[in-house]
């Protein structure tokens, strides 16, 4: 019989043959290996099912020190009803804002315009929400799905209503690791390239063979 997930997101396996049991153990080892690769978690001797609450606890334990703990807690507090998932590079997501780090994504377009996107995602004033991109993860990742939590201060400064928003995807990273976790596939709205993209050379920025700017 095939593996199936129950409603509280625990992996349950029912096997009638030894081969299926072996495949189940291999799958669980792959989950643990991905956690080690992403977070450096010492999980070799731990054995647990994909229980969201426990997995988030294990993730949080990898952030050592006051600043690192604040970093992860602020991001976890940005959402309610959190569940853990493993997502591959084939999944499409949407990212809002040219300067966004790519840690927070959505599976649906978060609004028809910047005003809607700000409120649906409860964005900070630093994100004008003018630019929207379709992205993929740069590598398979452990992600945390949640519902956007109301952000009173952001809403007051941004001029929108503080309320629970839409479903979001949080992609945890090692504290201090600024390597991009996403790859931009397409720009849906806006004109600014995302900070991870290389700008195309403008016509008036071409260099002549001596390295000087060409005269117009």
Report helix, strand or coil for 33.
Answer: helix
Mean pLDDT (whole number) for 165-185: 94
- Looking at the whole model, is its pTM more than 0.75? no
CA distance 44 to 47: 8
Residue 159 has pLDDT above 60, yes or no: yes
Token pair, residue 119, equals 């409120």
Q: How many helices (H) and strands (E) does the chain have?
A: 5, 9
What percent of the chain stands above pLDDT 70? Answer: 70
Instruction: Give the domain ranges of the chain.
Output: 4-195
Task: State the pLDDT at residue 199.
Answer: 73
Mean pLDDT (whole number) for 23-49: 61
pLDDT, tens only, 5-28: 444 444 444 444 455 556 666 776
> In which element (H, E) is residue 18 found?
helix 18-39
Which of these ranges, 40-54, 77-91, 122-136, 158-172, has the smallest mean pLDDT? 40-54
Task: State the pLDDT at residue 24.
Answer: 65
pLDDT-derived band at 39 (thresholds 50, 70, 90) equals: low
Residue 152 has pLDDT above 90, yes or no: yes
DSSP E strand stretches across the chain: 4-5, 11-12, 79-87, 93-96, 104-105, 132-137, 141-148, 167-170, 182-189
Task: State the pLDDT at residue 210.
Answer: 47
Mean pLDDT (whole number) for 99-125: 96
Which of these ranges, 11-15, 140-144, 191-195, 198-202, has the smallest mean pLDDT? 11-15
CA distance 88 to 121: 23
Residue 62 has pLDDT above 80, yes or no: yes
Residue 70 — φ and ψ, nearest 5°?
A: -65, -40
CA quadruple 177, 180, 182, 188: dihedral, nearest 10: 130
């Amino acid at each position: 019989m095939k593996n199936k997930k129950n409603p509280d997101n625990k992996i349950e396996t029912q096997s009638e043959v030894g081969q299926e049991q072996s495949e189940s153990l291999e799958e669980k080892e792959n989950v643990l290996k991905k956690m080690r690769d992403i977070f450096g978690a010492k999980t070799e001797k731990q054995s647990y099912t994909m229980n969201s609450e426990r997995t988030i606890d294990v993730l949080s334990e990898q952030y050592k020190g006051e600043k690192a703990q604040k970093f992860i807690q602020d991001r976890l507090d940005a959402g309610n009803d959190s569940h853990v998932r493993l997502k591959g590079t084939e999944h499409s997501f949407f990212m809002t804002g040219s300067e966004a780090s790519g840690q927070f994504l959505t599976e649906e377009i978060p609004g028809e315009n910047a005003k809607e996107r700000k409120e649906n995602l409860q964005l900070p004033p630093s994100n004008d929400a003018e630019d929207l991109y379709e992205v993929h993860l740069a590598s398979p990742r452990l992600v945390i799905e949640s519902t956007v939590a109301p952000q009173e201060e952001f809403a007051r400064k941004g001029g929108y209503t503080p309320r629970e928003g839409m479903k979001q995807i949080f992609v945890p990273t090692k504290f201090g690791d600024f390597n991009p976790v996403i790859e931009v596939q397409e720009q849906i709205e806006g004109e600014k390239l995302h900070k991870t993209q290389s700008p195309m050379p403008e016509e008036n920025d071409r260099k002549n063979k001596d390295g000087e700017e060409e005269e117009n």
